[in-house]
């Protein structure tokens, strides 16, 4: 059997096709966030001013919020007042970390809760900037030979 260019081309093309398939990069897939879309970025945790409060704050703010909740009665007027049983003592205001939050805190703490609420979106992993795209894959060397049926050319 005589060897001709056409009989050599088919096996060479098949080998090149297998080789080309082996070097095509597979796109990366993002790992699922451990706590879903409410996963906080590094250094932040859920505030938990109530069940389901997933505003991301520093650990110190979460600890203070838990203390405020545990001691809520000490900053209220004992007999109630103009706002009913949730009336705050002089110098205290409702925290308003969420609608209906009537825990009495200092005005500075209420301002901080409002600032945390406003910054909530920027502290979630789902909203963090995406990592830089990987460099473009190297050019397929098979394409330099102008083989019309080679994949990726």
Per-residue pLDDT of the chain (153 residues), as tens digits, is 555 555 555 555 555 454 444 444 444 455 677 778 889 999 999 999 999 999 999 999 999 999 999 999 999 999 999 999 999 999 999 999 999 999 999 999 999 999 999 999 999 998 666 666 777 777 666 666 666 666 665
Burial of 44 (0-12, 13-18, 19+ CB in 10 A): buried
Q: How far apart are CA 12 and CA 131, in angstroms?
A: 40
Site of tokens 């925290």: 95
CA torsion, ordered 129, 45, 97, 117, to nearest 10 deg: -10
Does the reported pTM lie above 0.75?
no
Which tokens belong to 152? 């990726």
């Amino acid at each position: 059997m005589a060897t001709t260019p056409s009989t050599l081309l088919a096996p060479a093309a098949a080998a090149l096709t297998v080789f080309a398939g082996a070097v095509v990069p597979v796109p990366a897939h993002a790992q699922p966030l451990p706590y879903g879309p409410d996963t906080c970025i590094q250094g932040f945790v859920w505030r938990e001013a109530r069940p389901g409060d997933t505003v991301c704050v520093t650990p110190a703010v979460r600890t203070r919020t838990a203390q405020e909740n545990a001691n809520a009665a000490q900053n209220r007027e004992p007999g109630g007042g103009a706002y009913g049983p949730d009336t705050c003592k002089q110098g205290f205001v409702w925290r308003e970390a969420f609608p209906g939050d009537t825990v009495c805190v200092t005005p500075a703490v209420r301002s901080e809760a409002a600032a945390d609420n406003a910054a909530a979106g920027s502290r979630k992993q789902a909203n963090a900037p995406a990592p830089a795209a990987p460099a473009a894959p190297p050019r397929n060397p098979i394409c330099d030979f102008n083989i019309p049926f080679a994949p990726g050319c």
